[in-house]
């Protein structure tokens, strides 16, 4: 059963739309929009008013003049195209191509957490012209941690107006496209078995009842030695089980810092850290900011005249 977004208090929206001029177009692949939103159960969707080029409502659907990747990290929903309807689960990405009529929304009972990037350019056209053609726009992502990390890096660069921003955004978008195409490729029987083990382990790390289960016990429940479990996990995710679990906890802490006014001590406890000082050290090591600094940056108002 899909776990719902917790409550309306967890709702959150961040979006950027970028100007495109001749200098940007010469880069070959450029980002037009990026953002993320947490949609609570029964909350209205879409949560924001998009500009005319991206206007969207369920009754009319829309057609885009760009490519978009929409990644759903939590919750579930549905997308309809001109020919069929498809289910969207946590860990799935939607690939939207120029001119394709579509409409999508989260399930009322679960809501969802969506991350998106829109992009265009001759480089994008070459990539997708050479790639496989799909009738189903929903693609289960194998390397979910890398996908989520890439979106976080993309958003952080956009928020901080990093020098060379448009080139950095294009670079992270290239990573997202590569992960998308990697997920489309067939797996060997051995790889499928290992992928199932990793996905089951991730589910146990995410579930509230088992998220603090000792890693040795997780391996045992999957009928694999801890040594093999640790090696397989690192090969598939690029991180040890311990590092991945820390990443999940810090990701949960980031969302609470963005969307609530809870004290750092309370967030530390909710995310599975018994020691607030240890939590603050790990948080700064992984994000480059203390929890207080991260909260201030994520809520900083836009500069006047920024796109």
Q: At what angle do helices 291-298 and 241-259 cross, to 10 degrees?
A: 50
Tokens of 137: 């726009």
pLDDT at position 306: 45
Q: Quick count: other Cβ atoms within 10 Å of Cβ 262?
A: 16
In sequence order, which residues have a C-beta less than 8 Å from that of residue 186 and are 6 or more positions away? Answer: none
How much is the pLDDT for 168?
Answer: 94
* Secondary structure element (H or E) that encloses residue 206, with its range: helix 189-206
CA nearest 148: which of 228, 244, 60?
A: 244
Q: Quick: pLDDT tens for 200-224.
A: 888 888 777 787 889 999 999 888 8
- Average pLDDT score over residue span 138-159: 90
Span 164-186, pLDDT tens digits: 899 999 999 999 999 998 888 77
pLDDT, position 8? 45
Chain segment 231-245, per-residue pLDDT in tens: 888 887 778 888 888
Token look-up 């040594």 returns 227
Closest listed residue to residue 116, CA positions, set 132, 108, 104, 101: 104
Q: Is the pTM of this model over 0.85?
A: no
Q: Do 57 and 101 contact (CB within 8 A), yes or no?
A: no
Instruction: Say what the pLDDT of residue 211 is.
Output: 78
List CB contacts of 252: < 8 A, sequence separation 6 or more.
270, 271
Whole-number average pLDDT of the chain: 86
Residue 3: the pLDDT is 57
Going along the chain from its start, the domains and CATH numbers come out as: 8-184 (2.60.120.280), 189-298 (1.10.10.60)
Give me the mean pLDDT over the 27-46 stretch. 91
pLDDT band (50, 70, 90) for residue 187: low
Confidence grade of residue 13 (pLDDT, cut at 50, 70, 90): confident
pLDDT reading at 150 higher than 50: yes
Residue 9 has pLDDT above 60, yes or no: no
Mean pLDDT, residues 83-96: 93
pLDDT above 70 covers what percent of the chain? 91
Radius of gyration of the CA atoms of the chain, in A = 20
pLDDT tens digits for range 119-141: 999 988 888 877 666 789 999 99
* Other Cβ atoms closer than 10 A to 22: 6
Q: What is the pLDDT of residue 193?
A: 76
Pairwise CA distance, residues 90 & 291, whole Å: 27
Neighbours of 172 (CB within 10 A): 22
The pLDDT of residue 4: 58
Joined together, the tokens standing for residue 93 give 């990405």
Q: Which residues contact 187 (CB under 8 A, 6 or more apart)?
A: 195
Tell me how far apart the alpha carbons of residues 42 and 106 are, in angstroms, rounded to a whole number: 9
Nearest to 94 by CA among 14, 5, 176, 191: 176
Residue-level pLDDT at 87: 94
State residue 302's pLDDT score: 46
Q: What pLDDT digit, counting tens, does each position of 250-273 carry?
A: 888 988 998 899 999 999 988 888
Average pLDDT in the 55-67 region?
90
Phi then psi for residue 286, to 5 deg, are -85, -30
């Amino acid at each position: 059963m899909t776990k719902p977004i917790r409550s309306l208090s967890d709702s959150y929206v961040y979006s950027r739309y970028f100007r495109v001029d001749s200098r940007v177009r010469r880069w070959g692949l450029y980002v037009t929009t990026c953002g993320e939103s947490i949609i609570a159960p029964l909350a209205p969707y879409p949560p924001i008013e998009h500009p005319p080029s991206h206007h969207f409502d369920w009754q009319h659907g829309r057609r885009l003049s760009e490519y978009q990747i929409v990644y759903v990290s939590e919750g579930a929903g549905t997308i309809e195209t001109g020919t069929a309807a498809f289910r969207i689960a946590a860990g799935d990405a939607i690939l939207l191509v120029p001119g394709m009529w579509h409409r999508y929304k989260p399930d009322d009972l679960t809501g969802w957490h969506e991350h998106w990037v829109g992009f265009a350019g001759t480089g994008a056209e070459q990539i997708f012209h050479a790639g496989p053609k799909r009738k189903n726009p929903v693609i289960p992502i194998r390397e979910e941690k890398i996908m989520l990390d890439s979106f976080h890096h993309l958003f952080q660069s956009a928020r901080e107006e990093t020098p060379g921003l448009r080139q950095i955004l294009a670079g992270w978008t290239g990573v997202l496209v590569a992960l998308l195409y990697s997920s489309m490729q067939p797996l060997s029987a051995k790889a499928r078995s290992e992928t199932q083990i990793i996905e089951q382990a991730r589910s146990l790390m995410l579930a509230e009842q088992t998220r603090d289960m000792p890693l040795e016990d997780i391996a045992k429940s999957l009928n694999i030695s801890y040594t093999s479990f640790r090696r397989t996990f690192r090969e598939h995710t690029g991180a040890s089980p311990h590092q991945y679990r820390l990443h999940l906890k810090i990701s949960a802490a980031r969302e609470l810092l963005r969307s609530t006014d809870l004290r750092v001590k309370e967030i530390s406890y909710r995310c599975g850290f018994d020691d607030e000082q240890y939590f603050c050290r790990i948080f700064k090591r992984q994000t480059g900011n203390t929890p207080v600094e991260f909260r201030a940056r994520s809520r900083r108002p836009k500069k006047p005249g920024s796109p």
